[in-house]
Structure 1
């Protein structure tokens, strides 16, 4: 019988400042932090095994960023937090750590939707919800053009009063089109000349019945 090495997986929740490291550098910073902390880590190509969750875009505010790390030993989560905290840099801070089953799927695979608070957005969100005709044009690399129904690209959208709008959008859609383009295509919604402030408030995974469950229930 072949014995396999036991691996312990931990999910880290980080907060970030407005001038934090770009997402391209976040993984390297976390790998360096794990290596310098002194914990016995599982390696992949001589680097600590670290998997990032879906990251917010550069220049975009978020309440939380997530990552999974794999260790060769079981460590109390508070002890692990104390060991990692001094080495976490670039405008990030460790808020929570929890041990999760090693077999649990990755954050990238689990999280399909993101919820945003946007401002300023002018228009009537009810019209946007009912607008099944608005379309977005996609230009493919081969030169072919395709039209997609804009309303189908979002899960939910609602006004929070004033010029604040809350929207839940599929992450694959977000990467393909961007929030500004989706909003502009929906009837009655216009992104003003001022820069659109975007705060990613939550990540969601989809239940089998199509309802969404937040990865973590944020307090703010």
Structure 2
């Protein structure tokens, strides 16, 4: 170990010393920079497949299951550790639930930002199946920036307790569709009934006129 200040001072002034230090430190700095850049790209290219419940965008009291790839890469052959509860109906208490109808699928490709939505049921029905919460693991394959195939997994905690006091209402589009189909008592339903009555009366009038014309032609 060099302890003489004069020797150290002499080495610092020596250009060869800086050249040797550069050859040693420069590759190290380059390696660190490349490693940091690769890790950033790797994180951006890794999928992040999560499942969660959320209120339906259309029908009040209905809860949807959403499966979404929130990561930056494409997930392939996505499967889940357990069948995910769907088709669980009942608002205050659960109706009859058939576990054989739970979601047990393999998703061939789930690109970045893509979400799949399933009608899961209602609060009472889902609560009977989830308990406090239900862990679900999504397993999938993906490719790294260096095009290597890797396996990934993400854990989701399925929980709907936060929806207990949420306001629920049908969307205007859903109400309009119901009204046009006559499933709720709105001005559209009343108008539809009135139009049916007018159409029926017009049909009767047309039949009477046709009979009169035929009678006149027969007398002639």
Q: Which one has a bigger Cα radius of gyration? A: 2
Q: TM-score higher than 0.5 here?
A: no
Structure with bigger RCO (C-alpha 8 Å, 6+ apart): 1
- Using the size of structure 1 for normalisation, the TM-score is 0.22
- Using the size of structure 2 for normalisation, the TM-score is 0.22
Structure number having the greater helix percentage: 2
Structure number having the greater strand percentage: 1
